[in-house]
A and B are shown apart, each in its own frame.
Chain A
Amino acid sequence: MHIDRRTFLAGGSALLIGQVPLPARAQDKLIKFGAPQDFTKVYTFVTAEYSQGQRDYITLFNERGGIKGFKVHLDVIDHGNDLPRAIEAFERYKREGYVLVDPLSTPMARGLVTRALEDKINMVTTLSGRSDAADGTAFPYVMPLSPNYWSQAALIIDFFQKQDKDLKGKKIVLVHIDTPFGREPIPIYQALAQKLGYEFQAFPYTPPGNDQSAIWPQVRRARPDWVIFWGAGVGQTVALNEAIRNGLPLDRMSSSVWLSESDMEVVGKDATKGVLKFEAAAGGREPKVIQDILKEVVAKGKGAGPEGKVGTSYYNIGVMMGAIQIEGLRKAFEKAPDGPYTGPWLNEGLRSITNFTADGLLPPITTTKQDHQGGGRGRIARWDGSKFVAQSDWGSAYEDVVWAEIRKYSEEFKKSGK
């Protein structure tokens, strides 16, 4: 067959210019949520467990018939904590009419803030992202929907105070990863130090935190009354190991929400007895919704991952976020049953959740147009060698101090975009 140059060129350029269609995933009667998350780089098993819980809850919801004939499609893809990949996913979601994006990564959430606000797609920043995004007036489309780091910090200090009756003259130290995420709670600890009269000291370690041997002897020398360790992923287990090596009392140490059974298995289940952490959702398999998932999803072989992980801390956080997102969807349908099923439509729902507890899995959460955090309630739990046991009732603490900080920074964002 003879192909002359002109034919070849014409064919070639047609091939170049003609766009390659993406496979049509769109089907009728689907509300689309996107979950580009980091399965491979930093958060790895955290994401795997979280995603499993989130997908199982959404399967449960779909299996029960969805809502008004609509089902939820959750697209899960790995962004490897790499911004171009997260942006690619975000742009694709925008094109395909997704109404919610859940990146589960503080750096990605920060990098996508402008796009979420401009393109009006709800970005969920589960227990991460900017703390000041709790102010819905400044960040209408950024939805933490969970206690931010400042609320967590305040609740931890509140627990310390209840244990010691008075924190005056006590020394509280924060051992944190030296990134914006690690430094984030410092303003709250400082503000509360002035209020309660304790002495506060911060010890940063260099990211990613797999070597902290230089910092912990200094922590020991500071003779702290309470230690808070603030990291994610590998840094947490290293911190625990170093604390044990330096003989710090573990029952006077607390983490933020990012500590799980898997971390404890790495360090040693018995060696870590007594460690405290913030809890945003009940752990274990007792909560009714977890039982429902076991019966209606996992037992039917529709579970998204290994059955053994059902009921772990991060799994339950995934269920919690899935449940809150679905509750927002219900509210959106209540407000405007006929759509249009867009980002702003879902936004109305996500911002009007009232006293939702997911059948006792989480403390009552109430979101408003002002408060995207939902009340900032949580509790402190202690590791007893096999599970985390709640040490306090659900509640929030010093929300006035927290909100003063939130407003301070969100005003700054409104004014200057910082």
Chain B
Amino acid sequence: MLYRQAGIRHRRYAAERQLWPLTFDRMLVGAVALFLLAAPFTLDRLYVSGYLLPWLLWSSAALGLNLLMGGAGQIHLGYGAVMAIGAYSSVHLVRNGVPFELALILSGSMSAALGIIFGAAALRVKGLYLAMSTLAMQYIVDFTISHAPGISGGTQASLQVPRVSVLGIPVTGEVAPYYVALALCAIVTLFMLNVGRTSFGRALAAIREKDYAAEIIGVSTFKYKLLAFWTSSFIGGAVGAVLAVCYLRIVTPDQFHLDLSIQLVAMVIVGGLGSVLGSFFGAALILFAPIFFNHAIGMLAAGLGLSISTDLRSHIPLMLYGGLIILFLLVEPLGLAKMYDNVRKYFLVWPFRHVRK
């Protein structure tokens, strides 16, 4: 019904290979894009700077990690550290007068360069062992940042981000940072949507399925594993830079601890490994479920006039949150994106269920 396939005839190869061949999908994407573009003018500012902005940034980061975890099958528990490298590089560069556009690219490259060193472990180890060696990256970077006053900013270990401008527009207030994040997110999303259709993406997929089998059919695992780490770390670094400039505005080492890495891994897994849409769903769930439950429980308590202790009031949301994640993974181990996909598949042929493949 909704996802009407009838009447779609492709006359050129390009038309058949477009990202969204179905009109309804295109309209849906268009509607979401329009909504995001118009958000600063239609939505309350609170939703823009308190919800949409972090959501876009965390989704972009999850996309970068998803390239590595879902695309190439390499687990990374130090993605927070990768973002930290990007954030600190960009802040230091900007403080030294480098224009932000350049700093963004340089900090991405910095993350990529350091990320590839730890990624090199992936050439020898897999699975849990790789998880451990990337975890080492997290701790080494954490330690270096907080122990090098030159990086962290001295005794107070906090660095204010100076106001920057992008393409001549000052990134101040609430609107400009949002659009910078939106632009970055759009670029990363388009890259991720298309990467699966390139030889690079197919090589990663081959490695994900079985690396020595890939080597046998002529895919250089050495090259592509390092490239996967390079690309994913570059995205992480760039997101870290935008995160620092547009959202955090003051960087401290605590912001990039293991918690962040685990959060991102959770986003990728709950959202759906290898799925672009899933990264957005995962980021939304992991970021906002605790806040939402907190408010909901608070309102419920206030509305019903219950006097529950603050301890309980702040722990119930965490229990619900944990329960929700388990529930989602039990119902659909392939993630939130797969849930959407199930719904979409259902409507694709509704009401003629018998033609479903």
Contact = CB atoms under 8 A, between A and B. Distances in A.
In the complex, which of the residues A80, A84, A110, A417 has the most CB atoms of chain B within 10 Å of its own CB atom? A84
Nearest to A133: B156
B156 A418 contact: yes
Nearest to A131: B156
A78 B249 contact: no
A39 B310 CA distance: 8
Contacts of A77: 294-295, 298, 314
A95 B38 contact: no
A409 B158 CA distance: 12
A interface: dominant SS? helix
A305 B309 contact: yes
A238 to B, nearest CB: 20
B158 A418 contact: yes
A224 to B, nearest CB: 23
Given A113-B250, A180-B146, A39 B38 contact: no
A244 interface: no
B279 interface: no
Contact of A114 (B154, B249, B298, B318): B249
A184 interface: yes
A92 B45 CA distance: 9
Given A92-B50, A114-B249, A13 B299 contact: no
Given A9-B31, A305-B310, A180 B253 contact: yes
Interface in A404-418: 409, 412-413, 416-418
Interface string B287-301: 100110011001100
A409 B290 contact: no
Contacts of B51: 88
A269 interface: no
Contact of A39 (B31, B43, B287, B314): B314
Of B38, B158, B287, most buried by chain A (CB within 10 Å of CB) is B158
B160 A418 contact: yes
Interface stretch (A15-23, A168-176, A383-391): A15-23
Nearest to B152: A180
B50 A19 contact: no
B166 to A, nearest CB: 19
Given A305-B310, A418-B154, A88 B315 contact: no
A85 interface: yes
Interface string B323-337: 000000000000000
Interface in A1-17: 5, 8-9, 12-13, 16-17
A344 to B, nearest CB: 19
B158 A87 contact: no
Contacts of A413: 156, 160
A187 interface: yes
Nearest to A96: B46
A19 B47 contact: yes
Contacts of A83: 248, 254-255
Contact of A92 (B31, B46, B162, B287): B46
Contacts of B156: 110, 130-132, 180, 184, 409, 413, 418
A304 B46 contact: no
B146 A179 contact: yes
A305 B307 CA distance: 10
Interface in B275-313: 287, 290-291, 294-295, 298-299, 309-311, 313
Contacts of A40: 314-315, 318
A88 B310 CA distance: 19
A416 B314 contact: no
A66 interface: no
B134 interface: no
Given A84-B54, A130-B156, A412-B154, A180 B310 contact: no
Contacts of A130: 156, 158
B108 interface: no
Nearest to A39: B314
Contact of A48 (B252, B311, B317): B311
A39 B312 CA distance: 9
Given A9-B27, A13-B35, A84-B287, A111 B252 contact: yes
Interface string A160-197: 00000000000000000011100110110000000000
Contact of A78 (B43, B44, B45, B294): B294
A215 interface: no
A211 interface: no
Interface of A: 5, 8-9, 12-13, 16-17, 19, 22-23, 39-40, 48, 51-52, 76-78, 80, 82-85, 87-88, 91-92, 94-95, 107, 110-111, 113-115, 130-132, 178-180, 183-184, 186-187, 304-306, 409, 412-413, 416-418
20 contacts: A5-B2, A51-B310, A52-B310, A80-B290, A83-B254, A87-B50, A88-B54, A92-B46, A110-B158, A111-B158, A114-B160, A130-B158, A178-B146, A180-B158, A180-B252, A184-B156, A187-B155, A409-B156, A417-B160, A418-B154
